[in-house]
A = this chain, B = another copy of it.
Amino acid sequence: MISNHHVGADALQKFGDKNKNYLRDGFYARSQAEEKRCLDLELNVLMSIEDVTTRVNAAVKSEMTVEQAFLARRAVMAEIEKESLDKTGLRSDVVTLYQGGQYHLYRFKKYTDVRLVFAPEQQIAFYGGDPDNFEYPRFDLDICLFRVYENDRPAKLQHYLKWSEAGVSENELVFVSGHPGRTSRLFTVAELEYVRDQRLPYALERLHGLEVLLSSYSARSDENARRAKEDLFGVQNSRKAYIGELAGVLDPKLMEQKQAAEKKLRDAVAARPELKDAVGAWDRIAEAQKIIAENARRYNLLEVGHGFYSDLFGIARTLLRAADEKPKPNSERLREFGEAGLASLEFQLFSEKPIYDDLEQLTLADSLSFLAGKLGYMDPLVQKVLAGKPPQERASDLVRGTKLRDVAFRKKLYSEGRPAVDAARDPMIELARLIDADARAVRKTIETQSEAKQQAHAQISKARFALEGTSTYPDATFTLRLAYGAVKGYEENGAQIPFQTTLEGLYQRGEEHQNQPPFDIPPRWLKRKGRLNLNTPFNFVSTADIIGGNSGSPVINRDTEFVGIIFDGNIQSLVLDFAYTDKQARAVSVCSQSIIEALRKLYDAGALADELTGKTKRK
């Protein structure tokens, strides 16, 4: 199984300790016995899709209030998922498509024994660091290889992609199968205005603070840097993505297009009496969005957890809520506690991944200050949360006082339920309890208004299907999508950017920057440069329609051969969140040839290269 190094980073980071930094230094298992089992990595393979729109919509009666409708919809979705799980044993998720226009049941086969086979040094996987992130041309070997096990033996898989040793040529048609996370192309103008005026400014404010916090913590020592690397990368990556998105919605041209398209559709709907249900949908979305806007800050702070940035707090809340939710009938639980998802939730909850007290205290104290700044220090809930102490002291007391870093203790509380959770008097659980009523209340408000939007979007989708068919595809939902595009360079500031780079380009870039971080080339790559064919293609771009979540997507040619792996989009691709364009927006991939070249000539991993290219089958 191949993915990006930055996708595997979480797993890599969890192996490491003060003496061994696999994330930074890489890893290669010379034999199967050396393959390292990941602590809590779960892979899901899509097995089937079933349209359950009719059944989901049938559960919602016209006389229901929006809140009742939300509960009914949540109940029927949990019911469908549970039935499917019981029947097939497969992970089963009901997915909302077209912002509520359709509901599909996705079934996944789960693999939880995933072992690391190979990872390069992070410095070549993420060559150019934050400055080159979301940029092109690029020179990154952003890959990571795993082997999937079942019953302690390598899984026997029927379907897999053959490896192309030829790579791509310019203008070639390629396909990308992946899990784009979230797009907002079907958003109404009111929703886009919210994104522009509130969601992105708030998100950036928070990320800027975290980036400064984690960067200065990391600068204190190598060990700090190792501990925070994964979080910091995530923060920087999101920050850059949001800046690109903000640039999109701050472009009056894009908003004018959206306004014109919305007006055209509204006019067409108004002209067709049979579509009258949809006439008021845009206004209903705007109204719901207004209420969401008023509650979003509180929701993010209390429910999403922006006021409590701490793994231990997350564990505490899961235990507290599990004790409340599990005794309820499946259909009445908070969605994440539905039967169909419990196994995955437990897999995470009982992970032995390391928790660093200093980092926990740092992020918790910082987020408590953020909470106080946003809700107001004198807010009664803030006063209760701080308990008469400065944020640093409160965070330190909580982290030092909790027993939740002990996985056995978590298991005990989880299995014994509420009496044990209550009796534990664990300070972190008590903190979660302190805010739970408020957090649930604001979540209910947000969920109810989201349901209202969803109903209105369903009406718009129905109208759009009637007018245009399903020529528009749904917004991304982290589920599988097959995209396609051409391998193609582009023009930027008057210059033509070529469709691919070579290994030689890497060394040139290193020289231009005197081999200084983040443009330093790893020692192995410097020492063994002479072995490489420097003309080997390294990275390439295509016009495939991707977005965050597509990291690790294979790129295949018309013979279904693996020619590369997506690891980024250029900065111009971030506008794809709101509208597709192939003018400058490009998906960035590692070429299949450079992977083999590096494995053979730099990493002494010829055996692995042989296995990948089908020359041998590894024992």
**Does A467 make an interface contact (CB < 8 A)?**
no
**Which residues of chain B come closer than 8 Å to A215, judged between CB atoms?**
215
- Please determine whether A197 and B377 come into contact, CB atoms closer than 8 angstroms: yes
**Which residues of chain B come closer than 8 Å to A247, judged between CB atoms?**
390-392
- Please determine whether B377 and A518 come into contact, CB atoms closer than 8 angstroms: no
Residue of B nearest to A518 (CB): B219
**Does A444 make an interface contact (CB < 8 A)?**
no
Residue of B nearest to A388 (CB): B252
**Which residues of chain B come closer than 8 Å to A219, judged between CB atoms?**
129-131, 518
Complex-state Cα separation, A216 to B207, whole angstroms: 14
**Which residues of chain B come closer than 8 Å to A208, judged between CB atoms?**
205, 208-209, 211-212
How many copies are assembled?
Answer: 2
**Which residues of chain B come closer than 8 Å to A246, judged between CB atoms?**
369
- Please determine whether B252 and A131 come into contact, CB atoms closer than 8 angstroms: no
**Does A222 make an interface contact (CB < 8 A)?**
yes
Count contacts on A: residues with CB < 8 A to the other chain: 42
Complex-state Cα separation, A247 to B386, whole angstroms: 13
**Which residues of chain B come closer than 8 Å to A251, judged between CB atoms?**
390
- Please determine whether B131 and A222 come into contact, CB atoms closer than 8 angstroms: no
Measured CB to CB, the closest approach of chain B to A205, in angstroms, equals: 5
- Please determine whether A377 and B196 come into contact, CB atoms closer than 8 angstroms: yes
Complex-state Cα separation, A129 to B209, whole angstroms: 19
Complex-state Cα separation, A220 to B129, whole angstroms: 9
- Please determine whether A131 and B211 come into contact, CB atoms closer than 8 angstroms: no
Complex-state Cα separation, A402 to B388, whole angstroms: 54
- Please determine whether B518 and A201 come into contact, CB atoms closer than 8 angstroms: no
- Please determine whether B514 and A222 come into contact, CB atoms closer than 8 angstroms: yes
**Which residues of chain B come closer than 8 Å to A518, judged between CB atoms?**
219
**Which residues of chain B come closer than 8 Å to A376, judged between CB atoms?**
197
**Which residues of chain B come closer than 8 Å to A196, judged between CB atoms?**
377
Measured CB to CB, the closest approach of chain B to A168, in angstroms, equals: 29
**Which residues of chain B come closer than 8 Å to A204, judged between CB atoms?**
209, 373
Measured CB to CB, the closest approach of chain B to A434, in angstroms, equals: 18
Measured CB to CB, the closest approach of chain B to A195, in angstroms, equals: 11
Contact with B along A388-402 (1 / 0, CB 8 A): 111110000000000
Q: Can you name 9 A-B residue pairings with CB atoms under 8 Å? A: A131-B219, A205-B205, A205-B208, A205-B209, A208-B212, A222-B516, A250-B369, A250-B390, A250-B391
